[in-house]
Amino acid sequence: MSSSIPEFRQKDCLNYFGPVEPSFVTVAAKFLASCTDGAEEQLAQSLDTFIKATQADCVGTAREKEHCWFEIRVDRPKEDFKTPRWHQDGPMRTYQEAAEGEPRSKYATTLLGPCTLLLPSNPKILETQAYVALREWLADQFEDKEPINLTNRNIARFTWGRDDSPVHSEPNIVSDRVFITVIYGSQDEIQTLWN
Ligand SMILES: [Fe+2]
C-alpha cells in the first residue's frame, strides 16, 4: 500500500483521500475559513458532526469505512446549472467482492447557498441513462416536478450505481455556495479513487 495517502488536493475545491481522523477535519475547516467568513472553530464543529453522522450511517464494518473521499466545493454564482442536470450517480469506485450486495452511498450537505435538487421519486423516463445528451429534454420533462425541500445542513444520502439511485441535479447557483460530500470505503477502495 502506498504511503502517500492521505492526500489533499486544493484548488477551487478541497479533496481529501485518506483515513477518517480528526486532523483532516482541522485542515478542511482551515480551508473553509480561508474562503468564507465562517469562524474556523464553528466550521470544524459542523464538519465533525457531518463526518460522525455519516460514518455511523454508512453500512459496513469499521474496516470497510475507515477511509474516505471527502470533498468541499466552494462556488461563486455561476450559470452552469441554470438548466438542471438531472442524473443518477453511477458507480463511484470498485466494490470489494465481499461487499457487492450492499448499497453504497455518497453523503452530501449544503452549508451555504442553494441546495441540491432531489426528485421525490424516480421517474421511469430515466432508464435510458443518457443524461448528458438528454439534459435539455429532461429539464423540460421535470420542469413541473417539485424537488424535495432540502435546507442548509440537511444531510442527503445518495446511493450510487443502482437502478433506484435518487435522481438529482445541482441547483441554479445564484449565490455563494458551500457544498460538501463524502464517500466511505476501505483503504484499498478509496485508494482506487485518487490514483
Ligand atoms: Fe450526482
* Whole-number percent of the chain with pLDDT over 90: 56
Domain ranges of the chain: 7-194
Q: How far is the CA of 171 from the centre of ligand 1 (A)?
A: 11
What are the cell numbers at 39?
469562524
Per-residue confidence band for 160, with pLDDT thresholds at 50, 70 and 90: confident
In this predicted structure, what is the pLDDT of residue 4?
47
Contact 7, 17 (CB under 8 A): yes
Q: How far is the CA of 155 from the centre of ligand 1 (A)?
A: 14
Span 43-78, pLDDT tens digits? 999 999 999 999 999 988 999 899 999 999 999 999
Q: How far is the CA of 25 from the centre of ligand 1 (A)?
A: 23
In this predicted structure, what is the pLDDT of residue 10?
62
Q: How far is the CA of 61 from the centre of ligand 1 (A)?
A: 25
Q: How far is the CA of 92 from the centre of ligand 1 (A)?
A: 10
Give mean pLDDT, residues 91-102.
60
Q: How far is the CA of 170 from the centre of ligand 1 (A)?
A: 8
Q: Residue 61: CB partners within 8 Å, gap ≥ 6?
A: none
Per-residue confidence band for 165, with pLDDT thresholds at 50, 70 and 90: confident
In this predicted structure, what is the pLDDT of residue 2?
42
Average pLDDT score, the chain:
86
Q: How many CB atoms lie within 10 A of CB 137?
A: 12
Q: How far is the CA of 153 from the centre of ligand 1 (A)?
A: 18
In this predicted structure, what is the pLDDT of residue 102?
67
Q: Identify the H or E element spanning 111.
A: strand 105-112
- Is the predicted pLDDT of residue 157 greater than 50, yes or no? yes
Per-residue confidence band for 101, with pLDDT thresholds at 50, 70 and 90: low
- Is the predicted pLDDT of residue 17 greater than 50, yes or no? yes
Buried b (16+ CB within 10 A) or exposed e, 34-52: eeeebeeeebbebbeebbe
Q: How far is the CA of 89 from the centre of ligand 1 (A)?
A: 5
- Is the predicted pLDDT of residue 20 greater than 60, yes or no? yes
Q: How far is the CA of 68 from the centre of ligand 1 (A)?
A: 17
Q: How far is the CA of 191 from the centre of ligand 1 (A)?
A: 21
In this predicted structure, which of 116-120, 129-133, 157-161, 162-166 has the lowest mean pLDDT? 129-133
- Ligand 1 ion: Cβ-proximal residues, 5 Å cutoff: 89
Q: How many CB atoms lie within 10 A of CB 16?
A: 25
Q: How far is the CA of 88 from the centre of ligand 1 (A)?
A: 6
- Is the predicted pLDDT of residue 98 greater than 90, yes or no? no
Q: Residue 4: CB partners within 8 Å, gap ≥ 6?
A: none
